[in-house]
Amino acid sequence: MSEQVFALRALGSYHLGGNVVQLVGKPGVELSPVPGSPRIALDPNGSFQVGQMYVQHARLVSPRSPFPLLLWHGGGLTGACWESTPDARAGWQAFFLAAGLDVLVCDAVERGRAGWACFPDLYPAEPFFMPQHSAWTLYRVGMRDGFVEDPAQRRGFPGGLFPVAAFDDFTRQIVPRWSCNDALIQAAYDALIAREGPCLLFAHSQGAGFAIRAALKAPGMIKALVLVEPGGAPEMAAGDFDALTGFPMLALWGDNVDAVPFWTAAKQMSLAIITNVRRRGGDATALDLPAVGVHGNSHLLMMDTNSDDIAARIQQWLVSRGLLMAPVTAPPEAPPCRP
Segment 136-166, tens digit of pLDDT: 999 999 999 999 999 999 999 999 999 999 9
pLDDT at residue 220, rounded to an integer = 96
Nearest to 325 by CA among 3, 55, 60: 60
Omega of the bond prior to 44 within 30 degrees of 0, cis?
Answer: no
Domain of residue 105: give its range: 8-30+42-320
- Euclidean distance between CA atoms 338 and 31, whole angstroms: 84
C-alpha to C-alpha distances, 172 to 76, 92, 148, 154, 200, nearest whole angstrom:
11, 19, 17, 17, 29
Residue 90 lies in a domain: yes
- Euclidean distance between CA atoms 276 and 142, whole angstroms: 32
- Euclidean distance between CA atoms 328 and 330, whole angstroms: 7
Contacts of 114 by beta carbon, 8 Å cutoff, 6+ apart: 15, 52, 53, 54, 107, 108
The pLDDT confidence band at residue 329, using thresholds 50, 70 and 90, is low
Phi–psi pair at 90, nearest 5 degrees: -65, 145
pTM attached to this predicted model: 0.93
Residue 133 lies in a domain: yes
Q: What is the mean pLDDT of the chain?
A: 94
Q: What is the mean pLDDT of residues 41-49?
A: 92
- Residue 308: is its pLDDT beyond 50? yes
Residue 330 lies in a domain: no
pLDDT at residue 221, rounded to an integer = 98
Of the two residues 240 and 36, the one the predictor is more confident about is 240
Q: Strands 103-107, 53-60: parallel, antiparallel or unpaired by DSSP?
A: antiparallel
pLDDT at residue 330, rounded to an integer = 45
Segment 120-132, tens digit of pLDDT: 999 999 999 999 9
CATH number at residue 183: 3.40.50.1820
Residue 334 lies in a domain: no
Q: What is the mean pLDDT of residues 30-53?
A: 91
Q: What is the mean pLDDT of residues 1-26?
A: 89
Residue 184 lies in a domain: yes
224: amino acid identity, one letter: A
Q: What is the mean pLDDT of residues 82-103?
A: 97
Segment 191-200, tens digit of pLDDT: 999 999 999 9
CA angle in degrees (0–180, nearest 5) for 97-108-20? 130
CA angle in degrees (0–180, nearest 5) for 80-85-87? 135
Residue 83 lies in a domain: yes
Q: What is the mean pLDDT of residues 54-74?
A: 98
- Our count of domains for the chain comes to 1
- Euclidean distance between CA atoms 309 and 294, whole angstroms: 10
pLDDT at residue 33, rounded to an integer = 83
Percent of the chain with pLDDT over 90: 87
- Residue 210: is its pLDDT beyond 50? yes
pLDDT at residue 328, rounded to an integer = 65
Residue 2 lies in a domain: no
Greatest C-alpha distance within the chain: 94
pLDDT at residue 238, rounded to an integer = 86
40-49, 95-104, 310-319: lowest mean pLDDT where?
A: 40-49
Of the two residues 251 and 336, the one the predictor is more confident about is 251
Q: CB of 79 within 8 A of CB of 107?
A: yes
pLDDT at residue 4, rounded to an integer = 78
- Residue 309: is its pLDDT beyond 80? yes
Separate counts of helices (H) and strands (E) for the chain = 9, 12
- Euclidean distance between CA atoms 133 and 140, whole angstroms: 11
Q: What is the mean pLDDT of residues 191-214?
A: 98
Residue 223 lies in a domain: yes
- Euclidean distance between CA atoms 198 and 223, whole angstroms: 6
pLDDT at residue 228, rounded to an integer = 98
